[in-house]
Amino acid sequence: MYIEEQHECTPFANKIWLSSPTMHGPELEYIRKAYETNWMSTVGENINEVERMVCEALGCKYAVALSAGTAAIHMAVKLAGIKSGEKVFCSDMTFAATVNPVLYEGGVPVFIDTEYDTWNMDAVALEKAFELHPDVRLVVLAHLYGTPAQMDEIREICNRHQAIIIEDAAEAMGATYKGKQAGTFGSFNIVSFNGNKIITGSSGGMLLTDSREAAEKVRKWSTQSREAAPWYQHEEVGYNYRMSNVIAGVVRGQMEYLDEHITLKKAIYERYRDGFSGLPVQMNPYNAEVCEPNFWLSCLIIDEAAMCRQVRGENEPLYIKEHGKSCPTEILETLARYNVEGRPIWKPMHMQPKFRMNEFITREGSGRGKTNAYISGGVLGKDGKPLDVGMDIFNRGLCLPSDNKMSVADQDRIIEIIRSCFE
């Protein structure tokens, strides 16, 4: 093949990352300020200011800066009052950090299948879930890869069933749905500042809410639940979850660049979309009439007819090369040979060994998590489409390198390498 002949021995000199931090300079000034004023712990100007900035940018009333997005989800689940053994409806195709905090509080995740239009929680499957379990009172929803879920339908269902929404906007900060910022639709919501997110603090996250009472509870819980006494007095369980003033300095320096980062990410998405013209692939979808993603990660999904034979076990994949066809495994392995980082789509939670006995609900009913390897194809539903949508997207999809610092020439070469996989 042309790519192999010309470039097989010439990988990128500097690794092209999936999504590494994009730093600008002000971050270092705010870190230095924390150092020079000796406010290095969980109190300081940077924390106060970054909470204010996030509230202003996203349109929420209160923000509590915490050590991680996972800590923020945990605090949100605790605010919801989930008891041991209580079922919680959760996004299925997401990172485990969306779901693990439910377990921290003793809840039992019930996974809701994905829909093709946004790759997020399927409102039809959610309605089916409430038919099966009408007493469930919490839904934990993630916005995947920077594209908001269909919030009107989901909120209508949750309101009708008097269920609380926790919105995991870790991947979607700055994205909007019908003009409203992601992370402001639920009762308790979160964003993340992990190293690969669109705004980074190297770590950190925030709980977002319009409830002053909820925000004050989280401030207390996240600082070991210390009571207002002249000594260390504790009347309930606490956590060491508060963000440090140093990390807050990094986030504070990043915040003014949110719109710039989104613009860069969108340009990457559009170059991939145009560069793959004529290939049997599609980009991760969104409806421009109702939402504007933050384009955190650009992803693609291969048409079913263009998939070569691929099987994924619990730890290792295998594929057989076929002329004119490819699969995520081949593309990712090829990119890796050129010193380029790509990733599989999030493996759905119901396919994870940890959750193989948890209930999984599709548009057509309930089942249990999968333990078997998945081969291209799968069981079809009544509409002729795969019954397990998350499994299908995981099988055919992958995350493309989406680093803001990648040059246009670098991306053009990556597109050429991927096109060669279909020769």
User: Which residues are registered as beta bridge partners of 226?
Assistant: 234
User: Would you give the DSSP letter of residue 348?
Assistant: P
In the set 87, 197, 217, 347, the catalytic residue is 197
Crossing angle for the helix pair 245-255 and 26-37, to the nearest 10 degrees: 150
CA 207 to chain centre: 15
Question: How far is residue 280's CA from residue 277's CA, in Å, rounded to a whole number?
Answer: 8
Which residue blocks in 8-118 are alpha helix, DSSP H? 26-37, 45-58, 69-80, 100-104
For residues 352 and 369, the answer to whether their CB atoms sit within 8 Å is yes
d(CA 178, CA 289): 8
- Token code pair at residue 61: 């009333």
Residue 197 annotated in active site: yes
* H or E stretch covering 65: strand 62-66
Sheet containing 359-362, strands listed edge to edge, beginning at the edge strand earlier in sequence: 62-66, 205-209, 188-192, 164-168, 138-142, 87-91, 108-112, 359-362, 365-368
What's the token pair of residue 372? 């078997």
Residues marked as catalytic? 197
